[in-house]
Amino acid sequence: MRIYVPLDAAAKALGADDVAAAIRAEADARGLDVEIVRNGTRGMVWLEPLVEIEDADGRRGYGPLTVDDVPALFDGTLETLGDVEKIPFFARQTRLTFARCGLIDPLNIDDYEAHGGLAGLRRAIQMTSENIVEEVKTSGLRGRGGAGFPTGIKWETVLHAKGAQKYIICNADEGDSGTFADRMIMEGDPFVLIEGMVIAGLGVGATKGYVYSRSEYPDANAVFAEAIGIALERGLIGPDVLGSDRRFDLELRIGAGAYVCGEETSLMNSLEGKRGVVRAKPPLPAYRGLFNRPTVVNNLLSLATIPAIFEKGAEHYADFGLGRSKGTMPIQIAGNVKYGGLFETAFGMPLGELVNEIAGGTASGRPVKAVQVGGPLGAYMPPEKFDTPFGYEEFDGQGGLIGHAGIVVFDDTVDMLQMARFAMEFCAIESCGKCTPCRIGAVRGVETIDRIAHGDPDAPALLADLCETMRGGSLCALGGFTPFPVMSALTHFPDDFAPAREAAE
């Protein structure tokens, strides 16, 4: 009998390690031959620790499981969730990037291969660099970090850029509020990222890759470091990738916890051992990136999607989605919701369906007041905008952004003035300090919102003016996008900004 107990950080926070130990002890006490596999998560966080038993009858789930449930699990008297892939939250998904997460043993390369892994790389290794880049262009894949720049065009630029050494950087500095997809891949299917990076290396002629992760992800970093060792041992990386004469070396680097190090130029400074300050663009990293060499900087999700594109074909991937938002997006649902977790679906699902149907509305049972999409720099969307389809252009058209596809739900007890203040405060704390609109503007922003709270009638116009300056004058997205949450709060929830003013009048 095989029992899967997630090693995912969220599952561990909910007691998965204790459950695994209790299962081991119970099996030993009963003299049963049980193999415990520490898998990634299936992405249904409200069911964690979600344990699955695999035997002659197939695979069935139990969760959330406690240590006290373990004897009943072995007695066969515990109520089962049945086939977890039939749970509506899971069954409604289209899993391409996350096809194996939670299904396989993350550190078993044979299990990875048995579930479709390495098929993409084996195909890519037979192709020319130009054909690899063309395949990515045909897939329509766009940057999953948030900016949505076409991945194939970025690769093409690096392919044609001149440089004795080229690099692939995976941006795994997942700092957005309500996001956890990068972590789940590193913990649940690390070889898919390694495979994607090797294909990127073959595509642009880079022989060295770095994964830039964060110190806040100790579990993910430990699993991924082990995966790199296994990949090297098994020839997935190293001097002769899968027995070919192609080289690709890979290193994991861990940042010290600055949000702005998720910005690509700041990330490269950090990788070079310098302070994580943003560099002006141009030059683009594609021409002069890490150590001044042509560099692909891709978000983890972009790179982890590459193997599926090469395994199933670019057209297959491009068939999913809406308009210029092709393929699927691993959407991360968090905040005040009944069912939080990872929901991968083709672009196009309306926001309201995600919030009210997939996430089941608020956990508190109160009405939804606002949803922040795209991290701390994303706009607050009111229920009136719930018909907005999930897509890059569609959200842009509504004054928002999808960012890294994190959505955080708030009920009607939230004070939007405080949320706007928090956005400015966050920017002030995380600013790298390079440019004035962000460094000074965010501090003045907090003060101006406090003036609104104290009823200063001139302050709202001043805040709008300040936001306009930050938006147009900041060097990077931190200062430039902070106006999104601030202005969306002010525009869509004027009542939260009014009472203090009225009280003062």
| Cis status of the peptide bond prior to 49, with omega within 30 of 0 | yes
CA distances from 190 to 120, 183, 201, 233, 235 (A): 15, 10, 17, 15, 15
Give the number of other Cβ atoms within 10 Å of residue 418's Cβ. 14
Pattern of binders to ligand NAI over 455-494, x per CB under 6 A? ---------------------xx-----------------
Residue where the block lists tokens 């994607």:
196
Q: Which one of 52, 264, 344, 394 is in contact with ligand NAI (CB under 6 A)?
A: 264
Cβ neighbors of 240 (< 8 A, separation 6 or more) are 246, 247
Q: Should residue 147 be labelled a site residue for ligand NAI when binding is judged by CB under 6 A?
A: yes
Q: How far is the CB of 476 from ligand NAI (least distance, A)?
A: 6
What length does the chain have? 505
The stretch near ligand SF4 (CB under 6 A) out of 185-193, 212-220, 335-343, 431-439 is: 431-439
CA 421 – CA 311 distance, rounded (Å): 46
**Which burial class, exposed, middle or buried, applies to 322 when counting CB atoms under 10 A from its CB (0-12, 13-18, 19+)?**
middle
| By CB under 6 A, residue 430 contacts ligand NAI | no
475 binds ligand SF4 (CB under 6 A): yes
Q: Is there a contact between 151 and 298 (Cβ–Cβ < 8 Å)?
A: yes
Q: How far is the CB of 351 from ligand NAI (least distance, A)?
A: 16
Q: Would you say 204 and 159 are in contact if contact means Cβ atoms under 8 Å apart?
A: yes
Among 142, 208, 293, 404, binds ligand NAI (CB under 6 A): 404
Tell me the residue type at 221.
N
Does 434 interact with ligand SF4 (rule: CB under 6 A)? Answer: yes
Q: Is 439 in the site for ligand SF4 (CB under 6 A)?
A: yes
Q: Where are the alpha helices (DSSP H) in 1-69?
A: 9-13, 16-29
Q: Is residue 4 within 8 Å of residue 54, measured between CB atoms?
A: yes
Considering the complex, what minimum distance in angstroms separates the CB of residue 431 from ligand SF4? 4
**Identity of the residue, 439 or 444, whose beta carbon is nearer to ligand SF4 in the bound complex:** 439
How far from 315 is each of 136, 140, 150, 366, 399, CA to CA, in Å?
Answer: 10, 9, 15, 43, 31
- The dihedral formed by the CA atoms of 22, 23, 25 and 26, expressed in degrees to the nearest 10: 110
Beta carbon nearer to ligand SF4, 82 or 433: 433
Q: Helices 218-233 and 190-204 meet at what angle, rounded to 10?
A: 60
284 binds, among ligand NAI, ligand SF4, none (CB under 5 to 8 A by kind): ligand NAI
Q: What string marks each residue from 168 to 207 as x (binds ligand SF4 by CB under 6 A) or -?
A: ----------------------------------------
Sole window of 27-35, 40-48, 195-203, 429-437 interacting with ligand SF4 (rule: CB under 6 A)? 429-437
Q: Is 424 in the site for ligand SF4 (CB under 6 A)?
A: no
| Min separation Cβ 146 and ligand SF4, Å | 14
**Strands of the 51-55 sheet, one edge to the other:** 35-37, 2-4, 51-55, 58-62
201 binds ligand NAI (CB under 6 A): no
- Verify binding: residue 64, ligand NAI, rule CB under 6 A: no
Q: CA-CA distance, 305 to 336, in Å (whole number)? A: 29
Is residue 377 close enough to count as binding ligand SF4 by CB under 6 A? no
For ligand NAI, give the closer residue by CB, 84 or 419: 419
Selected range binding ligand SF4 among 192-200, 308-316, 401-409, 476-484, rule: CB under 6 A: 476-484
- For 254, which DSSP code? E
Q: Kindly state whether residue 276 participates in binding ligand NAI, applying the rule CB under 6 A.
A: no
Task: Report residue 8 CA to chain centroid gap.
Answer: 14
Q: Give the per-residue contact string, 279-318, with ligand NAI (x = CB under 6 A; - = no).
A: -----xxx----------x---------------------
Considering only the stretches 168-176, 184-192, 240-248, 455-463, report the one whose residues sit in contact with ligand NAI under the rule CB under 6 A: 168-176
Pairwise CA distance, residues 248 & 231, whole Å: 11
**Binding region for ligand NAI (CB under 6 A):** 143, 145-147, 149, 153-154, 157, 174-176, 262, 264, 284-286, 297, 374-375, 377, 401, 403-404, 476-477
